[in-house]
Amino acid sequence: MSQGLVLFEKNQSELENIISACSIDKLVDMSQIGRTIALATGISQLRRILTDEIVRDVFMPLQSSRIGFCTDKDSPPWDATEDVKKNWVKGYPLGIVRDVTIEAFMHGLHMTGNEINIIAKNMYMAKAGVIRKVREWPGIRSLVVTPGAIQMAQDNQSARITMVAQWMIGSTAHELRRDVVRSADGKSLEFDSRFQIRVNKQMGSDAIIGKATRKMYSAILDHLYGGVTDVPIGDIMDTDGIVVEPTRELVPAEQEGKRIASTSLAMQGNDRS
């Protein structure tokens, strides 16, 4: 066993205690000063434990793999020269991976299962991470996320999609809608909260719904944190990389009634009892 793995195993218990005491999940109930102290303490202690040996032997091998985590440097750009391709080094250096690992731990994310990505040297919460955090939220059950009509832009480079989330916490029912709100007479638009999705050339309806579902889970998580804006939950990147049917105009009726069920729930919006 390598030196880094030995050190990691030796410090595992202390590491878990630090993450439990100083993670973002614990900060929502603290005062602003308390959050600052907890974050500073947690980051300092994690930096002390995550030595070069541990990061090199435990976390660097996870880089550039969906079993571990992906980055925007996993492969050279499509227009790279042959010389650049030949000398391409995957992923990021040790110092950046350590900083991202610390941030991921503070957000309660795993460095496996592609729950985080490194994009432009920064940590992004990926689809797998945000969905797991929602599903594991205490008391959440019976979440149903329902996509609605997809409206394509005239240039076919973006789309807007209606999404509705319904769930239970205890005996209380909750609902969140991202939809168009019109005036009482239905003639004028008052508010449009639908998700806007950037559409790539080969994206079809399934990929659009997938991206909107990821955005809905992100909003759900924000709601579960109570809308405490000074407690960051991290940016979200969708890195599925799935190529589906070519983009085309979608008839609203094609999407209505299509349901995505899960064992979790919740999001910003309207609560109902």
* Spans of all domains in the chain: 3-120, 134-261
Contacts 24+ apart (CB under 8 A), 42-46: 42/18, 42/106, 43/102, 43/106, 45/18, 46/15, 46/18, 46/19, 46/102, 46/105, 46/106
| pLDDT value of position 186 | 66
Residue 15, pLDDT > 90, answer yes
pLDDT digits (tens, 9 = 90+) for 231-242: 444 444 444 432
Note the pLDDT tens digit of each residue in 141-151. 999 999 999 99
pLDDT digits (tens, 9 = 90+) for 177-216: 999 887 777 666 678 899 999 998 778 899 999 889 989 9
The predicted-structure confidence for 115-133, as pLDDT tens digits, reads as follows 999 999 999 888 899 899 9
Residue 76 exposed, middle or buried by CB count within 10 Å (0-12, 13-18, 19+): middle
pLDDT per position as a tens digit, 95-105? 999 999 999 99
Mean pLDDT of 7-11: 92
List pLDDT tens digits, range 54-89: 999 999 999 999 899 999 999 998 888 999 999 999
pTM assigned to the model: 0.75
What's the pLDDT score for residue 228?
Answer: 55
